[in-house]
DNA sequence: TTAAGTATGCACTTCCATTGCATTGGATGA
DNA sequence: TCATCCAATGCAATGGAAGTGCATACTTAA
C-alpha cells in the first residue's frame, strides 16, 4: 500500500513534468526518492545491475531538463543528482539550497531547509544559478 | 624591470610556501598571475606548447598542496585553478570567496572582494571548506 | 665530483560522460 | 486488429580529462 502510494505519487510527478512515466523511469525516480543522499549515475547503475548505463544517463538528463531532479557538483568531479522538492522551480531565492559533502563517507546531502543566503554581485553580473557546497564531516562520521 | 619584479615576487612566494622555484614553476605561476580568470590545465598546456601535461599537472598539484593556488569547481566538470591571494590561509571566514562562472564566455573569475556569507549548518556537521559558485552572465557578456 | 633527492618527460591506464545507430515498445489512427 | 510512427531503451564505441609508473635530467649538499 505504501509502495503503491509512492508509485502513484511519482507517476503524477513525472506526468506533471511532461515526462512519460515508463517502468524504467518510475523505477529510477522511486529509487532516488528512497535515498537520503544525492546519487551518482554509478550508484543507480549498481542498484539496477540489469539496466544499461546509457538508459540511466538519458533518463536522468530528461529528469533534469524537466525540473524533476537537480544536479549537484560536490567537488568530487562526479556528477550527483537528487530529486527536486515538490513545487520546485529551482528558483534562486526560494528553492536552491545548501549541499553538504562529507569527505569521510563521501556522501552528499541536500540540506533543503538551509536556503541560500542573499548574495551580492558586482555591477553588471547577473546570476542564474548558484551552487553552494560545504565540505567537511557529516553528523554520522563526526561522532 | 616590471617583469623582473614579478619574477622575484613569485620566487619569494614559492619559497615561502616551501616550493622550490624551478624555471617551470616560475613560468607557470607567472602565467597564472597574469590571468584575470581561473585557468584549466588545458589552458596552461596551450600557453606552453612545449611543456608536458604531466609536469603542469604535478606542478599545480604541488601548488595546491602548499596553498599557493586554490582549486575551483565551477560546475563545468573541468578543474580550474587560481592563485591564492597573499597571506591566504584558505581560511573559511577570511580568505574564501565567491566565484562566478559565465555560461556565455565560459570563463570563471574569483571575486576576491566578495567573501562568503556566514553559513549555518545543522547540529553535528562541521565545515572545512566551502565552494560558492554563481553561474550567469558576466559583465563583459552582458552588455 | 659524486651521491641523493627532486623535478620533469613519456607512455599508458582508467574513469566517466557522451554519442550514433539499431531495436523495442507503446500510443494512435485506419 | 493491424499498421505506423515516435519515443524509449540497449549496445557499441568514442573522447576528454585525471591520474600513475617508470626512466631521465637537474639541483643541491656533502
C-alpha to C-alpha distance for A83 and A72, rounded to whole angstroms: 11
Average pLDDT over residues A112-118: 94
The distance of Cα A80 from the centroid of its chain, to the nearest Å, equals 7
Identify the DSSP state of A14.
H
> Is B123's Cβ below 8 Å from some Cβ in A?
yes
Answer whether residue A100 is part of any domain.
yes
Q: Does B142 reside within a domain? A: no
Average pLDDT over residues B12-33: 94
Report d(CA B72, CA B80) in Å as an integer.
5
pLDDT of A120 over the 60 cut:
yes
Contact A99, B130 (CB under 8 A): no
pLDDT tens by residue, B83-137: 999 889 999 999 999 999 999 999 999 999 999 999 999 999 999 999 999 999 9
- Residue A132: how many CB atoms within 10 A of its CB? 23
Task: Enumerate the β-bridge partners of residue B137.
Answer: A126
* Positions of strand D less than 7 angstroms from a protein CB: 7-13, 17-21, 27-28
Mean of per-residue pLDDT scores for chain B: 92
User: If we measure between CA atoms, which residue out of B112, B114, B102, B111 comes closest to residue B140?
Assistant: B102
List, in order, residues 6 or more apart from A48 with CB less than 8 Å away.
A27, A28, A31, A56
What angle (nearest 5°) sits at the alpha carbon of residue B138, between those of residues B134 and B143? Answer: 150
Q: What is the number of CB-based contacts under 8 A between chain A and chain B?
A: 113
Domain contains B143: no
Q: What is the mean predicted confidence (pLDDT) over A104-132? A: 95
Whether A142 is in a domain gets the answer no
| From B98, B113, B122, residue closest to A111, measured CB to CB | B122
Judged by CB atoms closer than 8 Å, whether chains meet at A135 and B138 is answered as no
**By CA distance, what is A103's nearest residue in B?**
B128
Write out residues whose CB is closer than 7 A to strand D: A 19-20, 22-25, 50-55, 58-59, 62, 77; B 20, 22-23, 40-42, 53-54, 57-58, 78-79
Residue A1 predicted with pLDDT over 70:
no
Query: pLDDT band at residue A34, thresholds of 50, 70 and 90?
Result: very high
Q: What is the pLDDT of residue A9?
A: 85
Give B134 to chain A, closest Cα distance, Å.
Answer: 4
Here the CATH number for the domain that contains residue B129 is 1.10.10.10
**In the predicted structure, residue A7 carries a pLDDT above the cut 80:** no
Number of domains in chain A: 1
- What's the pLDDT score for residue A6? 67
Residues of A whose CB is below 8 A from B118: 117
Contacts (Cβ under 8 Å, ≥6 apart) of A11: A21, A26
The pLDDT value recorded for residue A47 is 94
Closest by CA to B22, choosing from B59, B57, B50, is B59
- Which residue in A126, A130, A143 is closest to B142 by CB distance? A126
Query: Would B6 be classed as within a structural domain?
Result: yes
- Could you tell me if A70 and A84 are in contact, meaning their C-beta atoms sit under 8 angstroms apart? yes
CB of A36 less than 8 A from some CB of B: no
Residue B5 pLDDT exceeds 80:
no
Nearest nucleotide by C1' position to the A51 CA atom: D10
pLDDT at B41 over 60: yes
Contact B118/A at CB under 8 A = yes
Note whether B39 and B23 are within 8 A (CB).
no
Q: What is the pLDDT of residue A143?
A: 82
**A127: its cell numbers:** 546570476
- Domain for residue A57, yes or no? yes
pLDDT band at B49 (very low <50, low <70, confident <90, very high): confident
In a domain, A23, yes or no: yes
pLDDT tier at A4, thresholds 50, 70, 90 = low
Domain encompassing residue A43: 2-136
Which of B103, B131, B133, B138 to mutate to test binding with chain A, by most A CBs within 10 Å of its CB?
B131
How would DSSP label each residue in chain B?
-HHHHHHHHHHHHHHHTT----HHHHHHHHHHHH-SS-EEHHHHHHHSTTS-HHHHHHHHHHHHHTTSEEEEE-SSSSEEEEEPPTT----TTTT-EEEEEETTT--EEEEEEEEPPP----TT-EEEEEEEEEEEE-TTTT-
Taking a contact as any Cβ pair under 8 Å apart, which residues of chain B between 70 and 99 contact chain A? Answer: 73, 75, 77, 79, 98
Question: pLDDT higher for B1 or B90?
Answer: B90
Query: Which is it for strands A79-83 and A108-115: parallel, antiparallel or unpaired?
Result: unpaired
Asked if B46 reaches chain A (Cβ–Cβ under 8 Å), the answer is: no
Estimate to the nearest angstrom the gap between the alpha carbon of A87 and the chain centroid: 14
Section A17-31 average pLDDT: 94
- The yes-or-no verdict on residue A60 having pLDDT over 70 is yes
Average per-residue pLDDT for chain A: 93
Cell numbers for B37, please give them. Answer: 580568470
> What value, to the nearest 5°, has the Cα angle with vertex A131 and ends A42 and B82?
100
Whether residue A114 is contained in a domain is answered as: yes
Amino acid at each position: 500500500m505504501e509502495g503503491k502510494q509512492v508509485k502513484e505519487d511519482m507517476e503524477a510527478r513525472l506526468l506533471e513534468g511532461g515526462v512519460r512515466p515508463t517502468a524504467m523511469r518510475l523505477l529510477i525516480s522511486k529509487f532516488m526518492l528512497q535515498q537520503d543522499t544525492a546519487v551518482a549515475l554509478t550508484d543507480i547503475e549498481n542498484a539496477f545491475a540489469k539496466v544499461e548505463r546509457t538508459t540511466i544517463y538519458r533518463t536522468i538528463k530528461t529528469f533534469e531538463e524537466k525540473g524533476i531532479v537537480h544536479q549537484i557538483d560536490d567537488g568530487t568531479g562526479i556528477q550527483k543528482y537528487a530529486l527536486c522538492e515538490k513545487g520546485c522551480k529551482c528558483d534562486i531565492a526560494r528553492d536552491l539550497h545548501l549541499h553538504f559533502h562529507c569527505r569521510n563517507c563521501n556522501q552528499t546531502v541536500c540540506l533543503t531547509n538551509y536556503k541560500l543566503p542573499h548574495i551580492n554581485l558586482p555591477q553588471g553580473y547577473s546570476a542564474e544559478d548558484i551552487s553552494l557546497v560545504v565540505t567537511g564531516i557529516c553528523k554520522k562520521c563526526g561522532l
